[in-house]
Structure 1
Amino acid sequence: MGIEVVVEGLTKSFGTQTVWHDVTLTLPPGEVSVMLGPSGTGKTVFLKSVIGLLKPERGRVLVGGVDMVNSPERDIYEARKLFGLMFQDGALFGSMNLFDNIAFPLREHTRKKESEIRRIVMERIDMVGLLGSEGKLPGEISGGMRKRAGLARALVLDPQIILCDEPDSGLDPVRTSYLSQLLIDLNAQIDATMLIVTHNLDIAATVPDNMGMLFRRELVAFGPRELLLTSREPVVRQFLAGRRAGPIGMSEEKDEATLARERRDPADTATAPPRIVPQLEPSEGLPPRRAVQRRRARVLEMWDQLPPHAREAIKSGLTAVPVRGEPV
């Protein structure tokens, strides 16, 4: 099972520019979480801070008893082995075929025999649907295949935490749909904790157990997917609806005069109540996701802290679990 990631009071700046401050959240073990936000809000910076590739000025990231911000570098290096990281472009070596690209972490960080490496690599290649392509160079395959190869490489060290940086970048809607299903299928098979950084609304609507959103240098919210999908926060509703009207502007947040003008035009600001689509389930033949039952128990524990609209959405998805004695 994946392990819990606890983020406490994280603040990151570059020079005088604050990227975000006082970010606090917990990635539940074995669950799939998504971090949303407009371009330039520091989603990738957050992901790199979680794994210890960037050093925030304040706060902690606790992973298996190690603080990825403040612990000695040798401890951070060891804890980093718990992670698998999927980069936007796959980050493959252009001179290596897919097999050697995927085998690279095993050859670099373990003393396994080549026969064992081949078994592991071929299992991961099969897992992401690339059997038959292992001898090809990255330049000979499509962008979607490169992303799947990057994901296979992230899996070879059996990570307990998988971080995906905009896995949909550059993919058409059909390939994005396949990738979304692949992420759910992987979670069903390995039960790893997963954090996906994206601004893709289809992934946000169908993949995660939990959702968060960064905007104006803050974490707007983080919690069960229904909390954000039914949110009344203007910035969340604007982002999820993909509308121009709202706090998000083209370059940065809008000024108060623009927002006031939009508020005077009800037709421009009106948005339909969000429709929550069912979360993806594992493909036929795969085991059910173990995270589902854990999530149900966790959500019921926080029931009293959730707003009414989120409760109603959650109840509709918990048909097998009674809520505080009420029929569902």
Structure 2
Amino acid sequence: MGAEVVIEGLSKSFGPQTIWRDVDFTLPPGEVSALLGPSGTGKSVFLKSMIGLLKPETGRCLVNGVDICSCSEHDLYEIRKLFGVLFQDGALFGSMDLFDNVAFPLREHTRKTEAEIRRIVLERMEMVGLSGAEDKLPGEISGGMRKRAGLARALVLDPEIILCDEPDSGLDPVRTAYLSQLLIDINAQLDATILIVTHNINVARTVPDNLGMLFRRELVLFGPREVLLTSEEPVVSQFLGGHRTGPIGMSEEKDQASIDREKQWLASGRIAAEQQVTGVPPQLPVSEGLPERRAVRRRQDRVLGMLDDLPPAARDSVLRSINSQPAATPGR
């Protein structure tokens, strides 16, 4: 199973500008989580802080008990081997073919023979649907293929934690759907902990087991998908519903006066209530022939233990959602 990641009181600033502050949540091991938020809320900065590329001002990021924010350079080097990272643009070396791009971490961080490296690289490229493209250069392939090559490279060291920085960025809806399916299938096969940074509503509603949202320099909520997708928190429901009325404006946020005016206009009928996406849609299943994701049962058990603390409407929606989906086979 993937590693558990515990975030405690994490705060990050650039000079006088606070990016986010006092962020607390735990990534459940072996589950797929997503971090949401409007553009400019520091989601990518958060990922870089998680792997030690940026140093937060306060707080801890614990991976297997090691605090990435304060550990030695040697410990940080070792703990980073637990991570695989898919960057927005794939971050491939333009002068290397796809085989050498995917093989790069193995040659840099292991003493494996070229025969072992070849076996692992070809396995990972097959896993992401790139068999036969080993000799292609990054400039000769589509954006979707570059993303998949970046994902193959992120997988070659058998990471326990996979971080995906806006994997849908620059992709059309069809390629985004294929990549979403690929992440679910990888979780089924590896049981790795996956964190996806995104502002894609469809990805957020159908892919992850858990959702979190950054807004106004704080983590608004983090929890199982059933809880976030039934949340009555205004910014969460506005974002996941994809409508204009609410705290989020053309810039990151609206001031309170604008929010109050919207409420008055809605009540008076001056502006119409927008069609809002509600309820908990089915979660993306694994592809045929793959094992059921063990993460599904773990999340469902956790959500059932929270029912007594949820509002009645959310509780009913959660039960309908869970009862409508086939649970993972016990022990899988």
Bucket of the pairwise TM-score, normalised by the shorter protein: over 0.9
CA offset digits 1:116-163 (Å, max 9, x no partner): 000000000000001111110000000000000000000000000000
Q: Report if aligned partners of 1:106, 1:112 keep a CA contact under 8 Å in 2.
A: yes
1:196 matched to which residue of 2? 196
- 2:310 pairs with one of 297, 306, 309: 306
Alignment-mate amino acid for residue 37 of structure 2: G
3-state SS of the aligned residue for 2:90? coil
Structure 1 residue 244, shift from structure 2 partner: 1.9
2:101 matched to which residue of 1? 101
Q: Report if aligned partners of 1:128, 1:152 keep a CA contact under 8 Å in 2.
A: yes
2:126 is the counterpart of 1:122 = no
Distance 2:311 2:192 in 1: 29
1:175 matched to which residue of 2? 175
Q: TM-score, normalised by structure 2?
A: 0.93
**Unmatched runs of 5 consecutive residues or more in structure 2:** 326-332
Alignment-mate amino acid for residue 57 of structure 1: E
Structure 1 residues 242-251 or 296-305, which shifts more? 296-305
Q: How many residues align?
A: 321
3-state SS of the aligned residue for 2:323? coil
CA offset digits 1:38-59 (Å, max 9, x no partner): 0000001111111111111111
2:297 is the counterpart of 1:293 = yes
Alignment-mate amino acid for residue 99 of structure 2: F
Q: Report if aligned partners of 1:84, 1:162 keep a CA contact under 8 Å in 2.
A: yes
2:330 matched to which residue of 1? none
Structure 1 residue 73, shift from structure 2 partner: 2.0
Structure 1 residue 271, shift from structure 2 partner: 4.9
The 5 Å alignment of 1:1-328 reads 1-266=1-266, 267-272=271-276, 274-319=278-323
Q: TM-score, normalised by structure 1?
A: 0.95
Percent pairwise identity: 72
Q: Report if aligned partners of 1:245, 1:268 keep a CA contact under 8 Å in 2.
A: no
Q: Report if aligned partners of 2:243, 2:276 keep a CA contact under 8 Å in 1.
A: no
RMSD between aligned residues = 1.5
Q: Report if aligned partners of 1:122, 1:131 keep a CA contact under 8 Å in 2.
A: yes
CA offset digits 1:158-185 (Å, max 9, x no partner): 0000000000000001111111111100
Distance 2:257 2:215 in 1: 19
Structure 1 residue 298, shift from structure 2 partner: 2.1
1:280–1:320: structure 2 CA closer, same or farther, 3 Å change rule? closer
Distance 2:221 2:34 in 1: 12
Distance 2:309 2:41 in 1: 27
